[in-house]
Structure 1
Amino acid sequence: MERAEVIEHLRNSLSVVLDRPLPEFNAETRILEDLGLDSMRFIELLMSLEDTIGLEVDPESLEPEVFRDAGSLADYIRTRLDPAHASA
Structure 2
Amino acid sequence: MDRQNVVTALENALTDVLERPVTGLTGDVKLFDDLHLDSTTMLEMLMALEDSIGLVVDPEDLDADDFVSVDTFTDFVLRTQLEQVSA
Q: TM-score under structure 2 normalisation?
A: 0.89
Indicate the percent of aligned positions where both proteins have the same amino acid: 36
Unmatched 5+ residue regions in structure 1?
Answer: none
- Equivalent pairs, count: 85
SS in 1 for 2:44: helix
RMSD, aligned CA = 1.5
Measured in 2, the distance between the counterparts of 1:45 and 1:6 equals: 13
2:75 corresponds to 1:75: yes
Measured in 1, the distance between the counterparts of 2:76 and 2:52 equals: 16
Letter in structure 1 aligned against 2:72: S
Measured in 2, the distance between the counterparts of 1:61 and 1:33 equals: 22
C-alpha distance 20-54 of structure 1, shift in aligned 2 (>3 A): same
Cα drift, residue 84 of structure 1:
7.7
Tell me which residue corresponds to 1:65: 65
Tell me which residue corresponds to 2:26: 26
Unmatched 5+ residue regions in structure 2?
Answer: none
Tell me which residue corresponds to 1:41: 41
Q: TM-score under structure 1 normalisation?
A: 0.88
